[in-house]
Amino acid sequence: MNCTPIVRQYGILNNDWGVFMPKGIPKKKYTGEYKQSVVEDMRKNKRSQNETATKYGVSRSRLQLWERIYLEEGPEGLYIERRGRGSKGRPPKLDKRIEEDLIAEVQRLRAENAYLKNLQALVLEDERRQHKKRW
């Protein structure tokens, strides 16, 4: 969101709905080491998520995410870069025999489709000829 001149002039970056992020300010990146130290400090000192978030200046939702990753994947999970959409990956390879069967079926269906198109064209042509003979 671009800042208007008034916002820039008076330094108004907060309102009732949240914080305006002027263009050009990048999002913060936290190292895995930092995330691990924050989560371990919270767990060791039995602090609430709100207290820890305030102490370290991170949002509570971000801290919740770090804690979930820490509990599910361990400390090494915090070192993995997780930006953008997750990849669905490539579909698994089919067994060679199944792939050959599918290719054969596609070829058979294409041939059947071509045959039916030709048959339909012949039937239409025959009907036109009979229609012309009547007149």
Over residues 68-105, the pLDDT tens digits come to 999 999 999 999 888 777 777 787 888 999 999 999 99
As a whole number of angstroms, the longest Cα–Cα distance in the chain is 100
| pLDDT tens by residue, 31-45 | 999 999 999 999 999
Mean pLDDT, the chain, as a whole number?
Answer: 84
Contact status, residue 67 vs residue 39, Cβ threshold 8 Å: yes
Task: Return the axis-axis angle of helices 60-73 and 49-56, rounded to nearest 10°.
Answer: 110
The yes-or-no verdict on residue 2 having pLDDT over 90 is no
The whole-angstrom separation of Cα 66 and Cα 40 is: 10
pLDDT band at 26 (very low <50, low <70, confident <90, very high): low
Let me know how long the chain is: 135
Asked whether residue 118 carries a pLDDT value surpassing 80, the answer given is yes
Quick check: 8 pLDDT over 80?
no
For residue 125, the model assigns a pLDDT of 92
pTM of the complete model beyond 0.75:
no
